[in-house]
């Protein structure tokens, strides 16, 4: 009897270990595949030239040459749209998070907090539909502005949450000391609470950026994509994930998929690891 129970205990222990470690396999498999299929595409021209047309790519394939061009249009589009989204989402998110942290017992704040969760859980494709209805239809055309609005809506809940949570775990004595020294609430928030919460908020911002940088669905109906390097924000614009989607659908451009994916993946992973590292440092 006891032998049987001990044997069962051992079997369960080992199967948990094996299954848990097996879970790491997909990460390695995906990283490995993207890396080995993509690393030789990452040349200088891959980052400086725009996407080739399908015709040009077809010619190159027929001639047996590597496809010319790269993803410069996508990189510039991603940076521009993400930048515009961040400029609005970061200050708004921090202010809103500060409101939630300061008024946590208030009825209105509780509603806002609930709605933030609702927005955070909304599928990204629905954010795409909404931005289409709000921005693309009134502006009578796809544009980088629409793309950045979609990204902004997706970033905001994450920044609100991280700001609120970080401010709430700060010791109350910190705020009280600031107030006792004669600072008013705004001054204490700006000079004491926000600087003290900087690490947590910064981690939240990095995670928000890494979440939206790979988003494809909300950009498909808003920024649409464009094969030129473009700086005008009222015109369609490309982004790295949009380009991957384009390459996936165009048999002539399939050679470019892995380089673009490797670039995106490395970027996202570096952001994630940096965020984790900062969070750990800040917690100590």
- Is residue 260 classed as helix, strand or coil in its secondary structure? helix
Sole binder of another protein in the list 117, 141, 195, 228 (CB under 8 A): 117
Non-local (6+) Cβ contacts of 86 within 8 A are 152, 155, 205, 209
Helices (H), 191-231: 194-196, 198-213, 217-220
Nearer to another protein (CB atom), residue 73 or residue 113: 113
Question: Cα(203)–Cα(205) distance, rounded to whole angstroms?
Answer: 5
* Structure tokens belonging to residue 239: 């982004």
Question: Cα(206)–Cα(199) distance, rounded to whole angstroms?
Answer: 11
Provide the minimum distance between the beta carbon of 63 and another protein in the complex, in angstroms, as a whole number.
25
Binding residues with another protein: total (CB under 8 A): 81
Task: Give residue for tokens 């924000």.
Answer: 233
Is the separation of the CB atoms in 176 and 183 below 8 Å? no
Sole binder of another protein in the list 54, 58, 61, 130 (CB under 8 A): 130
Return the residues of window 192-221 that contact another protein according to CB under 8 A: 210, 213-217, 220-221
Provide the minimum distance between the beta carbon of 95 and another protein in the complex, in angstroms, as a whole number.
3
Return the residues of window 69-108 that contact another protein according to CB under 8 A: 92, 95-96, 98-100, 102, 108
Return the residues of window 23-52 that contact another protein according to CB under 8 A: 23-24, 26-27, 29-30, 33-34
Return the residues of window 262-281 that contact another protein according to CB under 8 A: 264-265, 268-269, 271-273, 276
- Residue 237's DSSP bridge partners are 224
Provide the minimum distance between the beta carbon of 169 and another protein in the complex, in angstroms, as a whole number.
15
Return the residues of window 221-260 that contact another protein according to CB under 8 A: 221, 224, 241, 244-245, 248, 257
* Structure tokens belonging to residue 146: 């629409």
Nearer to another protein (CB atom), residue 48 or residue 276: 276
């Amino acid at each position: 009897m006891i032998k049987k129970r001990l044997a069962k205990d051992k079997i369960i222990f080992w199967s948990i270990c094996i299954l848990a470690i097996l879970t790491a396999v997909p990460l390695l498999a995906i990283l490995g595949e993207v890396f080995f299929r993509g690393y030789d595409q990452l040349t200088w021209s891959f980052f400086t030239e725009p996407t080739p047309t399908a015709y040009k790519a077809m010619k190159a394939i027929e001639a047996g040459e590597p496809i010319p061009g790269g993803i410069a249009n996508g990189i510039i589009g991603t940076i521009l749209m993400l930048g515009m989204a961040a400029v609005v989402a970061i200050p708004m998110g921090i202010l809103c998070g500060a409101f939630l942290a300061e008024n946590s017992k208030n009825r209105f704040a509780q509603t806002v907090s609930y709605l933030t969760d609702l927005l955070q859980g909304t599928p990204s494709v629905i954010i795409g539909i909404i931005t289409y209805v709000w921005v693309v239809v009134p502006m009578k055309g796809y544009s980088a502005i629409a793309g950045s609005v979609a990204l902004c809506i997706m970033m905001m809940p994450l920044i609100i949450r991280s700001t609120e949570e970080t401010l709430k775990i700060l010791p109350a004595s910190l705020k009280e000391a600031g107030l006792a020294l004669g600072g008013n609430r705004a001054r204490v928030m700006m000079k004491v609470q926000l600087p003290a919460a900087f690490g947590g908020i910064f981690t939240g911002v990095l995670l928000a950026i890494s979440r939206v940088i790979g988003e494809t669905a909300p950009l498909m109906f808003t920024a649409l994509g464009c094969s030129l390097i473009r700086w005008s924000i009222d015109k369609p614009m490309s982004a790295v994930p949009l380009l991957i989607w384009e390459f996936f659908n165009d048999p002539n451009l399939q050679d470019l998929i892995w380089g673009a994916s490797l670039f995106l993946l490395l970027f996202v992973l570096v952001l994630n690891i940096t965020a984790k590292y900062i969070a750990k440092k800040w917690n100590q």
